[in-house]
């Protein structure tokens, strides 16, 4: 999974302007983030239409605030620059819950 700081830009409108993206908001200290993290490679493999980008919530706090990310881990989906869905709350998420969210996104 790519990290936001490794991208050419950290402006979400520029980064997501073309294609499908999932922003995965997490933090090193978050036990619920560590719970889902081992499942992320399999999830990425099952959804190759999306580019997954890991966002350290603490490092990009302004972006988290801008997008209304209050709890982590959280997922925000974009298609061609437009937000198309979000799984944003402070609850622990399972692989099945994340995949159900991804399946619910418009094609």
Where do the domains of the chain lie, and which CATH numbers do they carry? 2-104 (3.40.30.10)
**Among 30, 64, 88, 98, which one carries the catalytic annotation?**
30
pTM, whole model, 2 decimals? 0.93
pLDDT band per the 50, 70, 90 thresholds, residue 37: very high
**Confidence label for 58 from pLDDT (cuts 50, 70 and 90):** very high
Mean pLDDT of 32-36: 95
* Active site annotation includes 105: no
Place of tokens 């972006």: 63
Section 59-80 average pLDDT: 94
- Catalytic, 11? Answer no
Question: What mean pLDDT comes out for the span 58-85?
Answer: 94
Residue 12: alpha-carbon gap to chain centroid: 12
Q: Which of 22, 33, 67, 98 is catalytic?
A: 33
- Rounded Cα distance, 18 and 8, in Å: 14
């Amino acid at each position: 999974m790519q990290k936001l700081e490794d991208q050419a830009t950290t402006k979400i409108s520029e980064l997501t302007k073309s294609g499908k993206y999932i922003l995965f908001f997490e933090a090193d200290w978050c036990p619920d983030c560590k719970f889902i993290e081992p499942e992320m490679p399999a999830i990425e493999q099952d959804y190759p239409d999306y580019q997954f980008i890991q966002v350290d919530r603490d490092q990009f706090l302004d972006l988290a605030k801008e997008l209304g990310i209050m709890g982590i881990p959280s997922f925000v989906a974009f298609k061609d620059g437009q937000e198309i869905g979000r799984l944003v709350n402070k609850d622990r998420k399972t692989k099945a819950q994340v995949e159900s969210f991804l399946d619910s996104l418009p094609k």
